[in-house]
Amino acid sequence: MNAARYAIGIDLGTTHSALSYVETAKCEGEEVEQRILKIPQLTAAGSVEERPLLPSFLYLPHPDEHKQGDLTLPWGGDPTRVIGEHARRQGLTTPIRLVASAKSWLCHPDVDRKAPILPPEVPAEVPQLSPFEASMLYLTHLREAWNGAHPYDPLEEQEVTVTVPASFDPAARELTAEAAKAVGIEHLVLLEEPQAALYSWVNDSLGRWRHDVKVGDIILVVDVGGGTSDFSLIAVTEQAGALELTRVAVGEHILLGGDNMDLTLAHVVKQKLKKNGVELDRWQLQALTHGCRQAKEALLADAELASYPIVVPSRGAKLIGGSIRTELTHDEVTTTLINGFFPEVSVDERPAQRARGALTKVGLPFAQDPAVTRHLAAFLGKQAGATEDLEGFVEHAHWASFLHPTAVLFNGGVFNAQVLRDRVLQVLNQWLAGEDAPPARLLAAHDMDLAVARGAAFYAYARNHGGVRIRGGTSHSYYVGIERSMPAIPGMEPELHALCVVPFGLEEGSAPVVPPQEFGLVVGEPVRFRFFGSSVRREDQVGDLLEEWSEDELEEMEEIQTSLPADKLKRSEVVPVRLQAEVSEVGTLELTAIPTNVKADGEASDWKVSFNTRGSNSNGAGG
């Protein structure tokens, strides 16, 4: 087969998606020419425009809402699903028909990700989609947009990298890969977003990055997008005289981003108006949020500016008579944003956790503590020993209470504001100074909105044409829970042991690992395992059996399950199997149950163990 002509990076974001590409024949070494695909999308009924960003919103219109043909795209398109700018706008006025943040739902452990649950809690008449379907539709839109512009080089035949948050669990990664395969992408690789941001930085430096970092550096990538925050640590190592990048740790999935900030400001202004007896309806609150975003950008960019006027336009045609005028002051932005989202905290502070009310409706598990810096402190504290096993690293001081990064790379639209970059760096450097460590340097990044897509395209290219690669493998070690057989004691749960099935840092494409322990599986019945992951236990080897562990080391994930079909074996026969783990070329984790007593006629086959994406409460949709 001929090599693909283009290397493509797709940033499938929570609030925006983008596609960047490079023509491989035009690149040499680390000089890669990036281009962003202009994505045709509906911007109003009956009008199509090409924009570099595709808002990740999907609108399910009422059949009488638009004229026949007004929802036509250059490639036809499905008039019952509107994607992009028009969807976002329609959703402002008709939220019950809007699917938003599908990506956050895709890694929500408590719901069935393939069941039609979005938009959540709507009247029965409104059609619903699954988070998986929504992701697939965004990818389909991107595929059609690409194929329209490059009819002779369809997306299906190119090298494609799709980015996922570093904090995505194996199940969410698998769902993303499955969605990409379902739209026909054959040569697919998944890439973690903070890594993509770093690749974009490498790409922009045109090879000079080797002078900007040195062996022993630890780069902290802080990625705060519209809806999620993502942290990663990447160490600079050396292999046979050449610099290498190794991802050593990733943070937890934090649903906290720029949209929270705009909303918070809008509520501040709303309260101010309420004091003057002005009440806002939902539509006006949306307009106010929009105004606050602009005021925020202006106030953060210019420290001299004392206040910025905001006008909430009337909804009716009387613009002058019905508009509400107010303003946002510099102090309000500082107290709300900087002290609210980026407070100066000490490094041993941890995010506040509220116990969730028992009657909470099923919604997204938004972060309960808005302080990004506190989440960062928790991450660095947890990963204090992340570089212990790396060769060539200065022994980390044993008394250090957190991992000391030496450089910081910012990404995400929030950090377009210089003030916020400075703030995070300042807080981090305070922590470092407290432990007599040198301050961290800032790695200059460009174009924070498109960096992930660009980095992904660079990776898609570098992967096949030689070039720097970030190594890392799995970001967690994984365990299955085994109940120890013991006499039943009333009121006590049987003791649970954890068997390591995947070691930390298992790389894609490396030989599969099989722990020696055997399990007896019953044919014809679904078997479930409790499944655990750890982002800190780096030394555990395959087959290690943990008898005890501290609470925050191991995190229980969704169950994994398999079912042995009873076609050739007798039903309810017990078959001894071993669990084999492998990271596929795509970047997803694959578990397989392999029968140990392979018969001579070779009739026993392997069974895939799948991740449970159905949610822990079976009727999670609630309606």
The residues of the shown chain that bind another protein, judged by CB under 8 A, are 40, 43-50, 67-72, 74, 93, 294, 309, 311, 313, 315, 317-321, 323, 325
Smallest distance from the beta carbon of 71 to another protein, in angstroms? 8
Q: Residue 244 CB: number of other CB atoms within 10 A? A: 16
Nearer to another protein, 295 or 378 (CB): 295
Smallest distance from the beta carbon of 89 to another protein, in angstroms? 9
Burial (CB count within 10 angstroms: exposed 0-12, middle 13-18, buried 19+), residue 550: exposed
3-state secondary structure of 65: coil
DSSP assignment of 600-611 equals TT-----EEEEE
The secondary structure element, H or E, covering residue 530 is strand 526-534
Smallest distance from the beta carbon of 185 to another protein, in angstroms? 27
CA pair distance 63, 582, nearest whole angstrom: 47
Smallest distance from the beta carbon of 86 to another protein, in angstroms? 11
- Tell me the C-alpha to C-alpha distance, in Å, between residue 457 and each of 20, 463, 565: 6, 10, 41
Nearer to another protein, 45 or 545 (CB): 45
Q: Are 88 and 259 in contact (CB under 8 A)?
A: no
Kindly tell me the sign of the dihedral angle through the C-alpha atoms of 198, 459, 14, 105: negative
Smallest distance from the beta carbon of 40 to another protein, in angstroms? 8
Nearer to another protein, 55 or 587 (CB): 55
Nearer to another protein, 294 or 418 (CB): 294
Nearer to another protein, 294 or 426 (CB): 294
3-state secondary structure of 132: helix
Smallest distance from the beta carbon of 295 to another protein, in angstroms? 11
CA pair distance 234, 386, nearest whole angstrom: 10
Nearer to another protein, 14 or 326 (CB): 326
Smallest distance from the beta carbon of 74 to another protein, in angstroms? 7
CA pair distance 401, 348, nearest whole angstrom: 8
DSSP assignment of 554-616 equals -EEEEEEEEE---SSSPTT-EEEEEEEEEE-TTS-EEEEEEESS--TT-----EEEEE--S-S
Nearer to another protein, 313 or 385 (CB): 313
3-state secondary structure of 482: strand
| Helix boundaries (H) for 183-223 | 193-204, 209-212
Smallest distance from the beta carbon of 450 to another protein, in angstroms? 17
Nearer to another protein, 310 or 513 (CB): 310
